[in-house]
Amino acid sequence: MKSAVEPLKARRIYLLLRDRIVAGDLPPGCRLPGEPALAAEHAVSRVTVRRALDLLEKEGLVQRKAGSGTFVHDTRSVRPIVADLSNVLSHLIDMGRSTDVKLLSFGYVAPPEAIAESLGLKPGERVQRSVRVRLIDGEPFSYLTTHVPEWLGLTYSEAELAARPLLELIERSGVKTERATQAINATLAGPEPAAALDLEIGSPLLTLTRVVHDPSGRGVEHLHALYRPDRYSFHMDLVRIGDDGERRWSPALGRPRAPNKTKADKANTDKNNAGEKPTRGSRAIKQRS
Amino acid sequence: MKSAVEPLKARRIYLLLRDRIVAGDLPPGCRLPGEPALAAEHAVSRVTVRRALDLLEKEGLVQRKAGSGTFVHDTRSVRPIVADLSNVLSHLIDMGRSTDVKLLSFGYVAPPEAIAESLGLKPGERVQRSVRVRLIDGEPFSYLTTHVPEWLGLTYSEAELAARPLLELIERSGVKTERATQAINATLAGPEPAAALDLEIGSPLLTLTRVVHDPSGRGVEHLHALYRPDRYSFHMDLVRIGDDGERRWSPALGRPRAPNKTKADKANTDKNNAGEKPTRGSRAIKQRS
DNA sequence: GAAACCTGTATGATCTATGATACAGCTTCG
DNA sequence: CGAAGCTGTATCATAGATCATACAGGTTTC
């Protein structure tokens, strides 16, 4: 008898309440129904309700006050999200800011079939594989797995990879990047990414897969990136251009984001990040991008 | 004693193997280690390993042959993914194709604080709220919650909303859409979206939040969309433009997608999906958009 | 064909999550 | 102050997940 893996009830309640909170159904500051009421409403025991509330509290979505109740935490002011304006293009190259990078793995290996194909490698050609974690203010937010053809990977060292953005190293070698394809998706955190990103196994992750080509069509970089959704998301501002006959949406460049900032690009997610914790990562190295 | 909610072990193994498969570590066709070997490797019982394999099999990632072994299923040919080219802009308005829409909820309500603010509504102003599910080939792939100011929502009927794309109805009313902001993220499926999308609770979902404004700055549409990542993802092709001094990435327009197949453009796994199931949705209505 | 391996299936023991209940301590309100 | 409601905590019973083990039946290899 295969009992279908029914997710834990506490998780069910947690997700239910979480949706109601983020949807605004339970507005910030609002006191949500008491634990006995919730238990009755969802036909579970109060212990289970508490587990769900524990999860919500751990995520900072609610705040509990003994004797008083459980209140929806106002997240608007407490969202130091690493918002990344990806005008679909700029996010590729810039996103400056001082972030730390930890190199988890580095080496030359035979590429998996799918990677070799997407990079257009010849049979037997090897690749440089690296796994890095990016941190902001000491907190990890992305888990990057890159594959680069061996001939290109040999133009820089392991230390350089940990200190400089990969695209910069590629261009420094003389290779011109010309074309790229990206795909954005979602997945669940497996054991390794979860550990690296300081998450529970099974947490949701934003996914970005990118393949960059040079003018001759050779693949020069294959990136598989996993992002913590609570610390990173893709933003874009669009404007309608063209005359009435053929209006189209186009990314809005030069839309000043906060106070000042120049008209075009340049990773202008300023503000925040005033107080900075010292970097505590073991192999963490300061870098731009 | 709060025992930390450690996700089920079977789930852990499942995610672990899934990562190794999609990463190409276990290439398609490969026979993965036997159940006893996996059990020993991860220090769990064989029963638990089987649960993990059950999940993988249900997702079509592996195929089991009694007496022989468990094999990685070649997913490349079995991925009828609704790949959506979002040149970051077009995906807003087009994405033609005949999809079905089910209207789950429709009505006029007082907007949640966050919605009212993002739309720039006056206090007390009401909104039209609708929840729709989009299906392709009878299979649901997106769960859309929209909020529209009441004055605008009254210009079309409930039936029209179920039959036509919302942006089209908005523009038909004479309102000009001028500016939009989007954010893409990831989350877990709560009970309602999970049921509507035919998913397990806790499955990963792609998220798109969009606010559209008219030339005067009024908000005219607030969209919160949830997508099944196995049936939908955001794709974009980029090219490098500008001279050497100031090169930038720009979305590649007019890149024909399906028939020809540019050499290094994966994700467009054609073939497959020749036979089509009839649409069975109850309140399903054919529509473009 | 026989040995070695594999998946499929079943059993009972054990650990964990959940249920039902009770009570202590705090907060709010009249 | 005192009643009512809430969270925090503990107890023991039950249901579900996992474990350890055993065996049946198919596949591969020799």
For A164, other C-beta atoms within 10 Å of its C-beta total 17
The whole-number pLDDT of residue A56 equals 92
Instruction: Select the highest-mean-pLDDT range: A252-261, B69-78, B228-237.
Output: B228-237
Tokens describing residue A53: 């509330």
User: Taking a contact as any Cβ pair under 8 Å apart, which residues of chain A between 72 and 111 contact chain B?
Assistant: 76, 83, 87-90, 92-93, 111
Give A30-49 pLDDT, tens digit per residue.
888 988 899 988 989 999 99
Residue B50 CB lies within 7 Å of the nucleic strand C: yes
- Cα of A284 to nearest chain B Cα, Å: 25
pLDDT of residue B283: 40
Å: A126 CA to C11 C1': 50
Q: Is the CB of A67 under 7 A from strand C?
A: yes
Under the banding of pLDDT at 50, 70 and 90, the label for residue A193 is very high
In this complex, the answer to whether residue B276 has its CB under 7 A from any atom of chain C, a nucleic strand, is no
- Give the mean pLDDT of A66-72: 89
- pLDDT per residue over A125-166, tens digit each? 999 999 999 988 788 999 999 999 999 999 999 999 998 888
Buried-state track A223-233, b at ≥16 Cβ within 10 A, e below 16? bbbbbbbbbbb
pLDDT of residue A203: 93
Q: Is the CB of B136 under 7 A from strand D?
A: no
Task: Please state whether A73 falls in left (phi above 0), alpha (psi between -120 and 50) or beta.
Answer: beta
Model pLDDT, residue B253: 63
**Residue B6: which nucleotide is closest by CA–C1'?**
C16
- pLDDT for A204 equals 96
Of A119, A237, A249, nearest to B93 by CB-CB distance is: A249
CB distance A279 to A85 below 8 Å: no
Q: pLDDT over 70 for what percent of chain B?
A: 75
Interface test with B, best of A17, A95, A208, A236 (most B CBs within 10 A): A236
| More confident site: A76 or B185 | B185
Q: pLDDT at residue B233 above 80?
A: yes
Nearest CA among B154, B131, B145, B147 for reference residue B283: B131
Higher per-residue pLDDT: B158 or A284: B158
E strand intervals along chain A: 31-32, 62-65, 69-72, 82-85, 98-109, 127-136, 139-149, 179-188, 204-213, 219-227, 232-241, 248-251, 285-288
- pLDDT of A288 above 60: no
Nearest residue for C8, CA–C1': B66
Considering only residues A79 and B263, tell me which one the structure prediction assigns the higher pLDDT. Answer: A79
pLDDT tier at B281 (50, 70, 90 boundaries)? very low
pTM of the model: 0.83
What average pLDDT is seen over chain B? 79
CA of B70 to C1' of C3 (A): 22
pLDDT value at position A270?
Answer: 35
Q: Of all nucleotides in the shown strands, which has a C1' nearest the CA of B36?
A: C6
Question: Does A170 lie at the interface with B, CB-CB under 8 angstroms?
Answer: no
* B9-22 helix and B46-58 helix, angle to the nearest 10 degrees: 50
Chain A CB contacts of B248 under 8 Å are: 89-90, 93, 265
Please list every residue in chain A whose beta carbon sits closer than 8 Å to the beta carbon of residue B233: 183-185
Q: What is the pLDDT of residues B253-269, one digit of tens each?
A: 654 443 333 333 333 33
Per the listing, tokens 């994700």 go with: B267
The percent of residues in chain B predicted with pLDDT above 90, rounded, is: 44
